[in-house]
Chains A and B, each alone.
Chain A
Amino acid sequence: MMTGAFIAGAGLFFTPMTVLMTALGCLLGIVIGVLPGLGPLMGIILLTPLAFHLPPVEAMGLLIAVYVGGSCGGAISAILVRIPGTPLAAATLLDGHPMHLKGKSREAVGLAISASAMGGLIGGLFLVFLAPLLAAVALRFGPPEYFALTLLGLISIAVVSGEETTKGLMAGLMGLLVATVGADPFSSTYRFTFGYNPLLGGFNIVAIVVGLFALSEMFIQITSGHLTEKPQVPWVKTSFDSIGAALSRWVNLLRSSLIGTFFGILPGAGGVISAFTSYAVARANSKHPELFGTGVEDGVIASEAANNACCGGAMIPTLALAIPGDASTAVLMGALILLGFFPGPDLFSKHADVVGGIFLAYIAANVFLLVLGILLTPFFVSVIKIRKSYLIPIVLLLSCIGTYAIQGSAFDLWVMLGFGVVGYILRRFDYPLAPIVIGAVLGPICESSLRRSLILSGNNVDIFFNRPISAAILIIDIALILWIALPRGLKSTIRGRAIGLMKLAPEKGGPD
């Protein structure tokens, strides 16, 4: 079936204009992703009116490429200036920026682009060959499973916080608290809005992320001085060796891509969760977990492969079930409807050529991301040569434009400023910022899944343990919480004994 779709779609995709539009979309996506505040969602929204006038596959090629490029672009600014261009890249800065500080800017950016593109391609393989099957898997995840999964994501706060577990958990709780502001979806009552209408919709996650990371970083740059010194950064050459570097860590690359695809197929889960979970898993599986956060390549690969694989995953329920995987695919779905094609099972049977064309566009977008991203790396790295006195106003201006553009709301600018100040204070006292993002993103999903599960079960908690997937994830959650709660000394003893047992095992299985 897929082969037929590909052949039929090839005729629609392999036209000069469609290929050109896909390449253009990818380039625009990378640039939009780099700019703080503007992410793939905004890029797709901005280009949808243009896409309306194009043939279907050409239009979808343009928009999907913006989605793919935009999902990666944020990593570049995260690495180079410690500002995630999009919330998706918040996990990338944990190791990406320290790599830059070690003088490995080109390597870090190249690695992020390579891992993104390869993660995207792996997600694409699942999209192409297993879309209907994986869509059926997505159906098995109901509110109890979402609750268990989001709990797992919240536990990852302890992992990404490194040595500062208590501070990380406090920051995570702050994120959860922030997420409660706005209209309660279950009773339509307002929480913590204090009669102030702009708070009805809660705090915008983009304003939170830009404030926490971009503004706080700019405040720190300003207070640290040296504003007019020109950084001495040597010109870097284009090099494709980062592809080899990413492939040499193929276990992490593959595992992270699978995690990304998995979270992608679950509607509403999204790239931010996949990136942090993948990062936490990579750290947990590393021989040197203590080095995470100091600029290790595996950290960059884990988050970037996951958040771009998530794109392919998110397109699976969108196309196969007409249930958007995330906000960006929701807009992609709207564009497809505007073009006269309704997603869902009928799309595969009645318009296999369009489906094939969309699949090819997605794969081509990832290839363009790899090539264009690496070719442009020297240009992006050259940004850090700009004096702080120029760079800071530019970043602040772009942050304001990007945040305002999301909803055209001046209130979001105040939110951004407020979180900028909060971020600055927290960083001064060595509190990690990433847990706030995790809490703010996961909080609403966790809360609504818990409450929905209890309504479904008539307030019976058995619903979480009667369903095998939910029960299995909850057992993992409980085990992880117990592990985190163990005193450090006891953990070292258990680890030591486990290693001792592993060393003994081959001897026992020897000659006798």
Chain B
Amino acid sequence: MLRGFSKIVAASALALGGAGLLAGPAIAQSSFPTRRIEVIYPWTPGTPTYAVSQIIANAMGNNLGVNMPVVAKTGASGVNAFDQALAQPADGYSVIDGYVAPLVISPLFKKANWNCGDFVPLYSATSNAFAVVSRADEKRWTDFPSFIKYLKAHPGKTRYTASAQLSLPHMVMAKVLKTVGAVARNVPYNDLADGTKDLRSGLLDWMVVNPGIYRANKKEFRVLAVLSGLKEVSKIYDGAKRAQDYGVDIGLHSLAPMGWDWWLVKKGTPAPVVAKLRAAMGKALAEPAVHNKILQIGFVPTSYKPDQYSKVCTSVRQQLQAAMGAITWETNELKKYH
């Protein structure tokens, strides 16, 4: 009798398994999500950008009825996180917090072999514009024009940091320096917070900061120029002028001179799953509480729609390709003075 019962159980299991295999994808898509969705974040946890991602993920998770932990996978300027995300199935349970560095810059430097088309966009999340700052008590210059004048008079002498070598802030700053014809010595720091310490102690002469670093140290800094063409960005830096307000066109427009992230899923993710994720993210970004929290940290919610992704990504790629030349220029110019 037991043997008969076992056969029935086995046959039932086989039948259910077979039916499950056939109906699985359709059921999975209609009931999505049934478990937690990971947001793969490419930087160290604990930074202001991590906090922003967690705020969006929490609101989005509430809309979807599942947890959305932000999982930090660090290393190799974000390439590691993208690699690991691409190794996951295209089922919508791994959302990539797609920062410009691993998405656009790493492929430009041939450190990664993907392009914008390998991902399906949800929404753009935030942007953070950079600014050039010096110590608040700096006597050698008072504003951006006198700063540029000093740099030109002392080529290769001042020391600055713009985060890691070949990072976006470094590319943007090199482009600014090339545009105005000034040369300074870049000192790479993996973490801008460490650079801040050395600026405050006098080892560095000036640096490029993001809103989080500015917010935490604003009394110690004098903002010389905001490196963005967007007017609203000045507010983040307490009304400081943009480079273009001094007549300096850095040649980078829209999102190109700024850090930004676009939340993405792997190409091949089923359309109904993408639609659900998009709806949840769109709703989350539209919530006033989420919007205000992001602004409070110093970031600007961008809310570009999915259909704008391709255009924005391609345009940024083209502009940054031009900015790459500025780093080569900086390296060559520095050799003349050392």
Contacts and interface: CB of A to CB of B under 8 A. Distances in A.
A332 B217 contact: no
Interface string A37-81: 000000001001100100000000000000000000000000000
A456 B197 contact: no
A456 B80 contact: no
B46 A324 contact: yes
Interface in B158-186: 159, 164-166, 185-186
Interface string A438-453: 0000000000100010
Contacts of A186: 165, 188
B51 interface: yes
A342 interface: yes
Contacts of A335: 46
Given A331-B45, A340-B293, 8 more contacts: A45-B72, A185-B190, A197-B83, A321-B197, A324-B193, A407-B74, A455-B159, A455-B186
Interface stretch (B198-206, B226-234, B315-323): B198-206
B187 interface: yes
20 contacts: A52-B54, A138-B197, A139-B200, A143-B198, A183-B76, A186-B165, A188-B109, A317-B197, A321-B197, A324-B46, A330-B44, A331-B46, A334-B46, A334-B48, A337-B212, A337-B297, A340-B293, A343-B216, A408-B38, A408-B73
A338 interface: yes
A480 interface: no
Contacts of B197: 138-139, 142, 267, 317, 321, 323
B216 A409 contact: no
B203 to A, nearest CB: 5
B47 A342 contact: no
B189 interface: yes
A153 interface: no
A458 B48 CA distance: 33
A409 B46 contact: no
Interface of B: 38, 44-48, 50-51, 54-55, 58, 67, 69, 71-77, 79-80, 83-84, 109, 111, 159, 164-166, 185-190, 193-194, 196-198, 200-201, 203-204, 212-213, 215-219, 293, 296-297, 338
A321 B201 CA distance: 12
A140 B201 contact: yes
Nearest to B44: A330
A187 B111 CA distance: 12
A291 interface: no
A322 B71 contact: no
B58 A49 contact: yes
A201 interface: yes
Contact of B194 (A45, A197, A268): A268
B294 to A, nearest CB: 11
A202 interface: yes
A338 B165 contact: no
Contact of A49 (B54, B190, B297): B54
A185 B187 contact: no
A48 B58 CA distance: 12
A188 B110 CA distance: 11
A284 interface: no
A186 B189 CA distance: 8
Interface of A: 45, 48-49, 52, 138-140, 142-143, 182-183, 185-188, 190, 197-198, 200-202, 267-268, 317, 321-324, 327, 329-335, 337-338, 340, 342-346, 407-409, 448, 452, 455-456, 458-459
Contacts of A346: 216, 218-219
A190 B112 CA distance: 12
Nearest to A187: B165
A88 B331 CA distance: 40
A59 B304 CA distance: 34
B46 A342 contact: no
A344 B220 CA distance: 11
A338 B166 CA distance: 29
Contact of A188 (B71, B77, B200): B77
Contacts of B218: 346
A22 B219 CA distance: 33
B76 A182 contact: yes
B51 A338 contact: yes
Contacts of A142: 197-198, 201, 203
A327 B44 contact: yes
Contact of A333 (B46, B74, B164, B189): B46
Contacts of B200: 139
Contacts of A327: 44, 46
Nearest to A46: B69
A201 B51 contact: no
Query: 6 closest Cβ contacts across the A-B interface?
Result: A201-B75, A322-B216, A334-B46, A200-B76, A330-B46, A331-B46
B216 A143 contact: no
A337 B297 CA distance: 7
Contacts of B165: 185-188
Given A183-B77, A201-B76, A327-B44, A338 B54 contact: yes
A120 to B, nearest CB: 21
Given A331-B46, A344-B216, A452 B164 contact: no
Given A143-B203, A197-B79, A455-B185, A337 B73 contact: no
Nearest to A188: B166
A310 B327 CA distance: 39
